[in-house]
Amino acid sequence: MVQKGRKLHQLTPLIMQTIRKSITFTQQQNEWIKLQIQKGDYTNDSEYIRDLVRKDQADNLKLKELQNAINTGFNSGISEMNIQDIVKKIDDGTL
The separation between CA 95 and the C-alpha centre of its own chain, rounded to angstroms, equals 28
Nearest one of 55, 53, 52, 45 to 22, comparing CA atoms: 45
Helix pair 27-38, 45-75: axis angle to 10 deg: 100
What pLDDT, in 10s, does the model give residues 36-63?
999 999 999 999 999 999 999 999 999 9
Distance CA 87, CA 54 (A): 37
CB 37 within 8 A of CB 48: yes
**Predicted pLDDT at 35:** 97
**Predicted pLDDT at 2:** 47
**Predicted pLDDT at 5:** 57
**Sequence-ordered list of residues with C-beta below 8 angstroms from that of 2, at least 6 positions apart, any chain:** 8, 11
| Average pLDDT estimate for 16-37 | 94
**Predicted pLDDT at 95:** 81
pTM attached to this predicted model: 0.64
